[in-house]
Structure 1
Amino acid sequence: MVWAVLLAGLTWHSARNDPPTVREQRTISQAAPRVDAAIGELVAAASGTVYALTPTEFEQGCRVTPFADGAILRRHVELAVPAGEERAVLERVAEGLPSTWRAGVRLTSDGPRLRADAGEFVTVSGRTVADGRVRLSVETGCRPADAVVASLLPGYPPGPESTALAAALSALGVPAGEPDVRVEAACPSGGVARTVRADVAAAAQSPQAALAPLAGGTPVMATDELYAYQHDGVAVLVELYEDRTVLAATTGCAG
């Protein structure tokens, strides 16, 4: 009887005080701040490149256990880098991450891959998705879904990224309105990384020529599919499609 009481007491104490040992013990709402912080660390480590935060992905329907559904929270940072420098950029990002993450880059049959552990069972990865394009990702894995993702994300007032987006739209001859999407993340040293996005009709004139003055004549990347540049401390990515143009303006974190 004494042993049973002692065992019950230890179990109760462990459940209330010990850290989780598997990700199923951490819900989506508990993991969201770690994901936000990890994105901030990635942005700070990628300082000096042109990048954009992408809208948060919230995938429902995975299996936490054979008897319980869950959800996966993902966030990404898209980088535009000179073609051929993708691996070097991934290695520089890995070096800039906290040492406790044990970040590293290895060469695989699909190209260089960055892997890191942000803690609390949140994984970090990075890979080349096209020539001159790198994607950094943070993922929770399948967790108990105890909140709607929109309620988990912080909100911040607009900044110079909105001005840069308006300038790019004006150069393309598109009236500046409210951005279609705002995406944000807290920086590790304070402040906020913020991306505003606009999805508009394809420009009638050459986007590269129209945006060249804003890029100071020296874009980071200029192809038929992508135009990337820095303007007054704001990174601007312009994705060019046959029927539309997608613009993203981002203020980042200090490295």
Structure 2
Amino acid sequence: MSGAVQAGYAPPTGPDQPAPGRRRLRWLLAATVAWAVLLAVLTWISVRDDPPTVREQRSLAEAGPVVDRAVGELLAAAGDGGAAWLVPDVLRRGCRVTPFADGAALTRGVEVLLADDDARGLLQRVADRLPADWRAGVRVTGEGPVLRADAGEFVAVEGRSTGSGRVRLTAETGCRPVGAGYRAPTADGGSEAAMVTELLGGFGGAAGPVEVSAAPCPDGATARTATAVSAPDRPDRPTLPGALSRFSDGTLQVRATTELYAYRSSRTVVAERVDGRVRLTVAAICRR
């Protein structure tokens, strides 16, 4: 047979010579695998070393301590502006981090009772005392003056009037992945809880346990707020000023009415009649 190759006829490929199409497919597959490995490595490095760029990258377990420190800063900034204390934290579950993932949002706050109605003045003083990198500022809106600041790690800080002579300052995470969950700072009630029990003795005693909230102060101390509610009030019970004024001699009296009595000394003491009972709060606040 002649060794000439007929026109239009490709010579057969030997067993050790893969077709050109197969070689291209193998190179494409190898390049795809290498690119996927490179992306995985870069993603791991970014997650390990780079700060989060969106709120959803920081879980509630990680953001919780930022909120705790923020309310300590707020308490220290507002402490001498009236009678200030911590309010119980609020954890709202069931929000949506993504269309496919549930999350939770944490809010902690500080309540301030003023001797006057100058909420804007207090908010401005608080803004001036907060850390400079929070970029705190006060704007007057249709709902009144509002303080806004950024405590870092996507924790939003806000302050606004909640009524005559009252201001609420809050730090909030927004909706986050839960992660390991939020664990509030713990502290025994100490002398604050004992004082609540003693003061409520004049109103029939506490109707339930004393609730204690805590937060870290900027100076390393721990702020504590103890609160309890009395048994149902009776007509023969003393008025709030009548029962509490003897404890507030030589202190700064903030409010004194038949329904609300508050003073500040080394601690904040606030008593308020609510639904026929006396709710009493004693707080050791942060100092500057």
**TM-score normalised by structure 2 residue count:** 0.81
Amino acid at match of 2:281: A
Mapped pair 1:213 → 2:251:
no
**1:127 and 1:245 mapped to 2: Cα distance?**
26
Greater relative contact order, per chain length (Cα 8 Å cut-off, separation 6+): 1
Aligned pairs for 1:138-149 (under 5 A) are: 138-149=171-182
**1:67 and 1:212 mapped to 2: Cα distance?**
56
Cα RMSD (Å): 2.0
Of the candidates 74, 89, 97, which is equivalent to residue 56 of structure 1?
89
Aligned pairs for 1:127-138 (under 5 A) are: 127-138=160-171
Aligned pairs for 1:151-162 (under 5 A) are: 152-162=183-193
Amino acid at match of 1:193: A
Pairwise CA distance, 1:145: 1.5
DSSP-derived class of the 1:127 partner: strand
Pairwise CA distance, 1:17: 1.6
Are the aligned partners of 2:146 and 2:160 in contact in 1 as well (CA < 8 Å)?
yes
Of the candidates 170, 173, 180, which is equivalent to residue 210 of structure 2?
180
Mapped pair 1:31 → 2:38:
no
DSSP-derived class of the 1:21 partner: coil
Number of aligned positions between the proteins: 251
Are the aligned partners of 2:207 and 2:229 in contact in 1 as well (CA < 8 Å)?
no
Mapped pair 1:109 → 2:142:
yes
DSSP-derived class of the 2:176 partner: coil
Of the candidates 105, 119, 123, which is equivalent to residue 86 of structure 1?
119
DSSP-derived class of the 1:30 partner: helix
Relative distance call for 1:210 and 1:110 in structure 2 (3 A) is: same
Are the aligned partners of 2:187 and 2:213 in contact in 1 as well (CA < 8 Å)?
no
Pairwise CA distance, 1:3: 5.3
Pairwise CA distance, 1:77: 0.6
Segments of structure 1 that go 5 or more residues without pairing to the other structure are none
Partner of 2:264: 230
Partner of 1:193: 223
From the two aligned structures, give the one with the greater strand fraction: 1
DSSP-derived class of the 1:55 partner: strand
Are the aligned partners of 1:41 and 1:97 in contact in 2 as well (CA < 8 Å)?
yes
Of the candidates 146, 155, 158, which is equivalent to residue 122 of structure 1?
155
**1:230 and 1:160 mapped to 2: Cα distance?**
15
DSSP-derived class of the 1:142 partner: coil
**TM-score normalised by structure 1 residue count:** 0.91
Pairwise CA distance, 1:240: 1.3
Pairwise CA distance, 1:211: 1.3
Relative distance call for 1:197 and 1:52 in structure 2 (3 A) is: same
